[in-house]
Amino acid sequence: MRICKSKRVPPQVICQNTAQGLSGMSLCESAELESHVEGNASIAVFVPILEQFMELARVHFNHEEEMMGHDAYPVLGTHRLQHENLLRYLELLIGQVANGRLDVDKNLITALWDWGTVHIETYDREYANYKGRRQSSQ
């Protein structure tokens, strides 16, 4: 766990470990990015935040995929592809930010946040429904 040090999120908000899911850290990272955007921070500030988000996502996705495999989730391959696509996108994005070819602005933060929201509400919800049906039939 780590305390979110953003201006927008109160210090008492604790970002949960990946066992609790990705959304808590996403909120902190998003708020931290936004506070730096408003302060016109340098590239050196943004890259570590994005790298930390990517590493957390990677760990979270691996954990999620292990659970799906254990549950014999029939569309695990499709779900894994979604994860791989996001990680590739983040890698490219971080490279572009690091090289100064892409500015971190509110549109970028919103795009990342929206991807996570859509993924959770669509793909993760499908898995949760599958798991619930599977458990109720046993």
Q: What is the pTM of this model?
A: 0.70
d(CA 15, CA 29): 9
Q: Is the pLDDT of residue 28 over 60?
A: no
Which among 21, 23, 1 is positioned nearest to 12, based on CA atoms? Answer: 1
Q: Is the pLDDT of residue 27 over 60?
A: no
What integer is the mean pLDDT of 91-117? 85
What DSSP designation does 21 have?
-
77 C-beta neighbours (distance < 10 Å), count: 10
User: How high does pLDDT run on average in the chain?
Assistant: 75
Percent of the chain scored above 70 by pLDDT? Answer: 69
* Number of helical (H) and strand (E) elements in the chain, helices listed first: 5, 2
Q: Is the pLDDT of residue 18 over 80?
A: no
* Superfamily classification of domain 42-136: Hemerythrin-like (1.20.120.50)
Q: Tell me what pLDDT residue 73 has.
A: 96
Contacting residues for 52 by C-beta, under 8 A, at least 6 apart: 29
